[in-house]
Amino acid sequence: MTQIPRKSKKNKPQSGIVSLFTLLILITVTGCNQTQTTSSINTEQSPQLQEAASTPIQKSGKIKVVATFLPMYWFTKAVAGDTADVTILVPPGTEVHEYQATPENVRAIATANVLVKNGLGLEKFLEPTVKNAQNPKLTQIDTSKSIQPIEKISPVVEAGNQEEHDHEHTGGNPHIWLDPVLAKQQIINIRDGLIAADTANKNIYETNAAAYIKQLDYLNNQYQQTLQKNPNCTFVTFHDAYPYLAKRYNLKQVAVVEIPEDQLTPTDVQKAVNAVKKYKVKALFGEPGIDNKLLTSLSKDLNLTLRELDSLETGSTEPQHYFQAMQNNLQTLATACK
């Protein structure tokens, strides 16, 4: 997934107000015509308020957990199994970085016991959405707790006008799930949060978390063993998603951000070319689902193979998909770094 970094800072509060306003309108509209039938919301005023008041006693007796986006859903589902009722806010395949909340999201949070987020400023949509949901009983799990964020471990070459460039993550780069060791901490945070919210099922959460952590340990070993053969392998990405992974396994990410989203000028292309030359780059990585002719022609010009590295922001909702996608990334890195 790609970031859309050129929104000016000045517009941010404004667009926040607009989207909140839009959200309110949407809630009203949906409440009136009942076209959304996914949940049994009654048609009286402020359904989300009513449900919040009578909060979360599920008929099944299960606690209701909402996870923000795909990796948080995998991790939560892995720890919860079928013991909790886990749903996802950002549909897989939808951009998380610039996601706009829907009325369904507000309703989901209004009736949930627990909300699981990545944190580190990734889920920009969340704060106003949680506010709208007015659920005083909501427990929030920030999976980035106890993780030391990094800003830019590797050089970031910014295409385009630097003054316009406004892509920064408040609190550090958020892509911690792409480092299996940090993913372990995320699992631990989810486990502890679920136990706090649902102590009766402590043993189940502990057992499930331990099993997933074991797999993460195995994955980490595989990464270490495979990538230690090519230390300092330098690669270019067009999404600043791999600084944690690069740091963990002694690789170097040169993130040339902005390319897939924005129209490139010849100057931008030249900057990317210069970066590739400057850093003795071995690999050029696009992302699954992004068909970009410019990247293809750039890779031809530079005589580098264009490969796909997956930031795991889209894909199957099955928790084991994390390991498949990470294995694919490892093979891609190993091949590219040879």
- 123 vs 198, which CB is nearer to Zn ion? 123
What is the nearest approach in angstroms of Zn ion to the Cβ of residue 121? 11
Using CB under 5 A, which of the segments 20-28, 79-87, 102-110, 236-244 binds Zn ion?
236-244
Among 79, 178, 236, 241, binds Zn ion (CB under 5 A): 241
Using CB under 5 A, which of the segments 10-18, 41-49, 235-243, 327-335 binds Zn ion?
235-243
Using CB under 5 A, which of the segments 153-161, 238-246, 279-287, 324-332 binds Zn ion?
238-246
What is the nearest approach in angstroms of Zn ion to the Cβ of residue 175? 6
Residue indicated by tokens 């706090």: 196
Using CB under 5 A, which of the segments 10-18, 208-216, 234-242, 250-258 binds Zn ion?
234-242
Pairwise CA distance, residues 306 & 286, whole Å? 7
Residue 71 — φ and ψ, nearest 5°? -60, -35
Q: Does 109 bind Zn ion (CB under 5 A)?
A: no
Which residue number has the CB closest to Zn ion? 241
- Which among 131, 96, 100, 93 has a CA at the least distance from the CA of 117? 96
Question: Using alpha carbons only, what angle is made at residue 336 by residues 264 and 252, rounded to the nearest 5 degrees?
Answer: 70
Rg of the chain in Å (alpha carbons): 21
What is the nearest approach in angstroms of Zn ion to the Cβ of residue 144? 14
What percent of the residues of the chain are helix, what percent strand, and what percent coil, each to the nearest 5? Answer: 45, 10, 45
Question: Per the structure block, which two tokens stand in for 193?
Answer: 């949060």
Q: Does 245 bind Zn ion (CB under 5 A)?
A: no
Pairwise CA distance, residues 107 & 304, whole Å? 48
- Dihedral sign (CA 26, 27, 33, 34): positive
Q: Does 72 bind Zn ion (CB under 5 A)?
A: no
What residues line the site for Zn ion (CB under 5 A)? Answer: 241
